[in-house]
Amino acid sequence: MTDKRRRAQRRSRAPKIGVIIANTGTPAAPTRKAVKKYLSQFLMDRRICPMPRPVWWALLHLHILGKRSKASAEKYEHIWTAEGSPLIAYTEALERGLNDYYAEQGLPVVVRTGMSYGKPSIKQAVRELKEAGCTKLVVLPMYPQPAFSTFGSVADAAERAVRRARFKGEVVYVEGYAEDPVYIGAVAASIRNAGFSEEAGDRLLFSFHSIPLKDIEAGDTYELQTGATSLAVAGELGLDRRSWTISYQSRFDKGRTWLSPFTRPTLVRLAQAAGEQGRLFMVCPNFSVDCLETLYDIPFELEPLYLAALAGADVDADEEPGALENTGRAESRCDAAHADVVRTVRRKRAAVAYRGAHAPSDDDPFVYVPCLNKSKAHLRVLTHVLGPYVGDAR
């Protein structure tokens, strides 16, 4: 009997396992209407809203959504692709890659994409996996360093979907992989492949999404996880502690205290301390695939800020602006005398550059290291992380 036939028989006898690779989500289109619908769902999540829900609902729908949907839609227009949202396109490519892998291995595993907000939804994924005959669900929130707000939103959506689908089988959750050796190796390799060289004087900034300090006080281990990932990657690269640092970006609002140091003032400090040699590399390890926070915020806001500060501009980045308050009109916070720096950088660093078209040169002072996205390395990470849950010994 051939190996292929043995795998087919094993697959036909074993109960099917459904895997949901889950992420936050994205609007269906880069339009004000679609973005408003998405933000309404996202911002009313009990784990996201910053005040009692009735008060927040009124504030959100009467004052915030109109302003934010317009500003966010303009940002999404810059990163949208022929395949739609990069977040969805990359994740669905991973879904296809995982399904192909499990089919080749003869494992009875079916993979679906599910988003906490928007489509394809976690509800849809649960329904499809039940219809496919799966008797066990494995939910993988694609946050290597899970937080209450991220992992919790996926778990909430999955639990609701399981109840509504009347799924009676076992449901298990993969609770992060911040120190998984295959993941650490993949992130380190991506930094090397981007051209990082400590010997040449290059410095490395690990930037993670920020979370409210009240969550950490309530027991969220997110800060410890981000530190563990950074230490492990730096160790894999053999870096001296003085050549890398950690910061946090994408603060949601100004009404709460958020985990810091923030990325903006950190970039200014690094620019002011930069010598004539070496470049700054920026990597965002807790984003499994590139999205608005990387494809827009980095080339259109953070890099111009760094280069303006590097050029001696008088920049104001004492604190990270809240996403709700930031309309995107003064992202780099440079004075008028250095507006030409911002314009030049924005032309050079259009978001499409970070979808594979841009290869940094030796004289680029700022280099963004893309997320693992749909790479073979990322597929190896996911199959390794999922292995104990689906019976894959590799």
pLDDT in tens, 300-358: 999 999 999 998 888 877 667 666 665 444 444 444 434 555 555 554 554 444 444 44
How far apart, in Å, are the Cα atoms of 237 and each of 116, 177, 194, 232?
A: 34, 19, 13, 9
> What is the mean predicted confidence (pLDDT) over 273-289?
89
What is the amino acid identity at position 192?
R
Confidence grade of residue 52 (pLDDT, cut at 50, 70, 90) = confident
pLDDT of residue 220: 96
- Using CA atoms, how far apart are residues 215 and 219, in angstroms rounded to an integer? 6
Least confident of 4-13, 14-23, 75-84: 4-13
Q: What secondary structure letter does DSSP report for 220? A: -
- Using CA atoms, how far apart are residues 364 and 375, in angstroms rounded to an integer? 24
Single out the residue of 249, 254, 251, 169 nearest to residue 207, CA to CA: 249
The answer to whether 334 touches 304, Cβ cutoff 8 Å, is yes
pLDDT of residue 352: 42
The answer to whether 264 touches 226, Cβ cutoff 8 Å, is no
Q: Is the dihedral of CA 52, 149, 24, 388 positive or negative?
A: negative
**How big is the chain by its Cα radius of gyration, in Å?**
21
pLDDT of residue 91: 97
Q: Is 121 helix (H, G, I), strand (E, B) or coil?
A: strand
Q: Is 313 helix (H, G, I), strand (E, B) or coil?
A: coil
- Using CA atoms, how far apart are residues 250 and 245, in angstroms rounded to an integer? 17
- Using CA atoms, how far apart are residues 332 and 338, in angstroms rounded to an integer? 10
- Using CA atoms, how far apart are residues 164 and 143, in angstroms rounded to an integer? 25
Q: What percent of the chain is predicted at pLDDT more than 70? A: 83
The answer to whether 258 touches 212, Cβ cutoff 8 Å, is yes
- Using CA atoms, how far apart are residues 113 and 122, in angstroms rounded to an integer? 7
Single out the residue of 43, 30, 20 nearest to residue 75, CA to CA: 30
CA angle 188, 364, 378 (to 5 degrees): 25
Instruction: For the chain, count helices (H), then strands (E).
Output: 16, 8
Single out the residue of 119, 162, 157 nearest to residue 141, CA to CA: 157
Query: Is beta strand 244-249 parallel, antiparallel or unpaired with respect to 170-173?
Result: unpaired
Per-residue burial over 38-67, b if 16 or more Cβ lie within 10 Å, else e, is bbbebbebeebbbeeeeebeeebeeebbee
pTM for this model (two decimals): 0.88
Query: pLDDT at residue 227 above 60?
Result: yes
